Structure 1
Amino acid sequence: MSALLSRITIDPAQCGGRPCIRGMRIRVVDVLDLLALGLSSHEVIEELPDLEPEDILAVLLYAARRLDHPVLAA
C-alpha cells in the first residue's frame, strides 16, 4: 500500500500544495471528481492519458486514508 501512496505527491510550489499524482499537475481531487461523475477508471485514463491504472488506485486509497480519522464524541 505504501507503494501506491508514494504515487501521491505534495509540493507547496505546485497546484497550491494540493495532492497531485506522481509530481504531475493532475490533482487527486480532479480524478475523484471524474470518478464521482460516473466515469470508469478506464474512461478517466482516456481523459487524462498520463495516468496509469495504479494512479487511480492510489487516489482512492489516499482519499480513504484521509477520511479515516478518529471522531471524539463529547
Structure 2
Amino acid sequence: MDAKQQELLNRITIKSGLMGGRPTVRSLRFPVSDILELLASGLTEAEILEQHPILEQLDIQAALLYASMKVKNTAVIYAA
C-alpha cells in the first residue's frame, strides 16, 4: 500500500460508539456504505457532494478504496 492509499484510508474510522461500529468517514455520522449506495444508485461524485456538503471528494475516494480492500480481503490495520 502506498502513502496516498494510506492517507485515504486514514479518513475511514471505526468507533464502537459511533454508528454501531460501522466504518464512517472522518468520524462523522456518515457510513461508508451510504456513499457506496449513493454511487450505486447512479449519482455522480459532484451530485453527492452537492447533496451532502459535509463530505469531501477525498471521502468518496476513501470509501471506494476501503470497499475495494475489503472485497479483496486485504487486512486494514488502524492505529489508535
> Structure 2-normalised TM-score?
0.84
1:19-68 CA-partner distances (Å, limit 9, x unpaired): 00000000000010000000001111112111111000000000000000
**Aligned position for 1:2:** 6
* Cα RMSD (Å): 1.1
**Identity, % of aligned positions:** 46
Question: Unpaired segments of 5 or more residues in structure 2?
Answer: 75-80
**Secondary structure of residue in 1 paired with 2:39:** helix
CA radius of gyration, larger in: 1
Q: Structure 1: which 4+ aligned runs deviate by more than 2 Å? A: none
Mapped pair 1:46 → 2:58: no
The TM-score, its normalising length taken from structure 1, stands at 0.91
Deviates more, 1:15-24 or 1:46-55: 46-55
Counterpart code for 2:19: C
**Which structure 1 segments of 5+ residues have no match?**
none
- Alignment correspondent of 2:30: 26
Equivalences, count? 70
